[in-house]
Structure 1
Amino acid sequence: MTDGSGERPLSVCITFDYDALSLWAGMLGSTNPTQISRGEFAAVAMPRILTYLRSHRIPATFATPGHTLLAYPDIAKAIAADGHEFAHHGWVHELVSLTDEAGEREVFERGFEAFEKVLGIRPTGYRAPGFDFSPRTVSLLQEFGFSYDSSFMGDDFNAYYLREGDQASPTQPYRFGGPVDLVELPASWALTDVPCFEFVWGALPGLRPPSAVEEIWRGDFDFAVERNPGGIYILTLHPQTIGRGHRWLMFERLVEHFANSDNVVFETLGAYAARWRSENPHDKWCATPSVHAPATS
């Protein structure tokens, strides 16, 4: 809610990476039926998630792999029927940094094909599976007509334009590329649920108590709403993870806290990106040196 002060509210964006089976079959390369069944729980959790969002009139963004759209088309249609936004999230939650250019192009194209087949749409927002980019990805996002991304972590509560052509070397000074017309809505591992909760043998200990995670997520929100009005606070959630009962109760408490705070609005990533772009034209933004657009010598 807003406090009527006229100050631009903090935007809270609830986002769901609706990976379902693809997380286990794709990025983790599993053929273990019991492990893959963990992704199946996402389809169990989705009705309770949609019911809650509907009852509280909260628009959300669902970053969805093509593999999930084809596995559960009726759930995808239910998400669309409730007016939520979709973002491209790969084909089968693959890490594009591990493939070549042809493979990365195929990932984008198969994802688009699934969106067209199931929903008849072409999303203009992107979130990389595993927050993973290759050196080619920014260029491909422009080529495929995306307007925003939500994978980078160069800021916490402020949008910015992505750069292309950065060069990192252990022996040479860092070389900054130039900002391109692609809005970045920054993500954070600290504001996502999988590292906190999911147990993966030999990789993630997970299984933290929701109270500990609630403290982190609430703390970042309290900072943002007090000190970063007009900014964006993004939670990156996964139905198969946050949808478990004890975690979902924590999420409901957090949303109540958000809603009871002064000067807050819930909206989708796409809505925020469009408004931010209109208020920060690319050419004008690039002309003002900042940490995201350093002046060149």
Structure 2
Amino acid sequence: MSLQNPSSTGPNTEPWQWPEEQWRSEVNRVRAGRSLVDTDVSRRWPEEAQCAVLIAYDSDHETPYLRDGQTSPGSLAQGEYGSRSAVPRILDMLARHEVPTSFYVPAVSALLHPQDIEGYVAGGHEVAVHGWIHERNTALPYEAELDLISRAADVLEKLSGTRPSGIRTPSWDFSQSTLKVIKELGFSYDSSLMADDEPYELNADGAPTGIIEIPVEWIRDDAPYFMMDRFGGLRPHLSPYDVERIWVDEFEAAHAAGGVFELTLHPHISGHRSRLAMVDRLLSHIRTFDNVWFGTHAQLADHLRTKFILTTQG
């Protein structure tokens, strides 16, 4: 049996048939560029801190259900809890610990709950883009993705009074067009990808873009540990104490390395009482360490942009 020559294959061939030029092109389309970590540990982070701590809340609320057409009152109530019950107690907790935080907000969440945005701004927190309706951006053509993100930024600017400088894609992934959209709309940084423990510059087809990536990780996200679907097989529901131990280990390792500890939470997931207590204990533990800087993702991006003289490439 003869195999088709990979060099003559079209776009619908299997990956194992791709010529080297094709798989290299796919890998290099969006890639980690230079590391944005000073070799001098004492000069890496703002205020010459040993470790930078970034807390983020993705305020999805009802939007993942709406995105999937799940409009039953039971489903939407789970999302509504995020704004009605969780956000007020989260803001109280953050104020007690004096922790500026980044809130990534789908525009539909902001329009449904404008009082949330008022609370975030009043607390000195960052409001950043997280899509329009928590859409699966990886399935969108360029025109649709550009339109949704552009309108989302407009909504958040109107409600918060400040144009968002950062974005986190709803799916923690890029489509073929996402980086182009981010560049076109002038975002300073993204926080969706996972190529490093520390911040880095994004490259597009091997060329630097000037866009800062503040990486995330599923290990440091509450959703994999606590989400559930009563009609499916998704029922992890780990003990908050078990998850807390993982995050303590992650923080302590970041502190020892002189790095960044970035944690992603969701009001409708970790805003429940037992889980909020978990986050409260974690923040108390972090506060026992010397030389830790708490800041928003935008503040860290501003620090890195000035330090490394980054300019966004058109």
TM-score range, shorter chain: 0.7 to 0.9
Take 2:201 and 2:170, find their aligned partners in 1: how far apart are those partners?
Answer: 20
Check conservation: 2:137, 2:171, Cα contact below 8 A: no
Q: Which residue matches 2:127?
A: 86
Q: Which residue matches 2:155?
A: 114
Which one of 236, 260, 271 corresponds to residue 299 of structure 2?
271
1:181 pairs with 2:222: no
Which one of 164, 173, 185 corresponds to residue 204 of structure 2?
164
Q: Secondary structure at the match of 1:131?
A: coil
The size of the alignment, in residue pairs, is 265
Bigger Rg over Cα:
2
Which one of 150, 170, 190 corresponds to residue 129 of structure 1?
170
TM-score (norm 2): 0.80
Take 2:162 and 2:142, find their aligned partners in 1: how far apart are those partners?
Answer: 24
Identity of aligned residues (%): 36
Post-superposition shift, 1:262? 2.2
Q: Which residue matches 1:149?
A: 190
Take 1:117 and 1:8, find their aligned partners in 2: how far apart are those partners?
Answer: 34
TM-score (norm 1): 0.85
Post-superposition shift, 1:9? 2.2
1:32 pairs with 2:82: no
Check conservation: 2:127, 2:156, Cα contact below 8 A: no
Post-superposition shift, 1:212? 1.4
Post-superposition shift, 1:7? 5.6
Q: Report the residue type matching 2:78 in the other structure.
A: R
1:218 pairs with 2:248: yes
Q: Secondary structure at the match of 1:128?
A: coil
Take 1:198 and 1:95, find their aligned partners in 2: how far apart are those partners?
Answer: 18
Question: Which ranges in structure 1 are unaligned for 5 or more consecutive residues?
Answer: 166-176, 284-297
Check conservation: 2:118, 2:160, Cα contact below 8 A: yes
Q: Report the residue type matching 1:39 in the other structure.
A: G
Q: Which residue matches 1:70?
A: 111
Q: Which residue matches 2:4?
A: none
Q: Which residue matches 1:195?
A: 224
Question: Which ranges in structure 2 are unaligned for 5 or more consecutive residues?
Answer: 1-41
Q: Which residue matches 1:50?
A: 91
Take 1:69 and 1:139, find their aligned partners in 2: how far apart are those partners?
Answer: 25
Q: Report the residue type matching 2:103 in the other structure.
A: F
Q: Report the residue type matching 2:212 in the other structure.
A: V
Q: Report the residue type matching 1:135 in the other structure.
A: Q
Q: Report the residue type matching 2:232 in the other structure.
A: G
RMSD: 1.8
Post-superposition shift, 1:203? 5.2
Q: Report the residue type matching 1:128 in the other structure.
A: T
1:254 pairs with 2:282: yes
116 and 7 in structure 1: CA distance in 2 versus 1, 3 angstrom threshold: closer
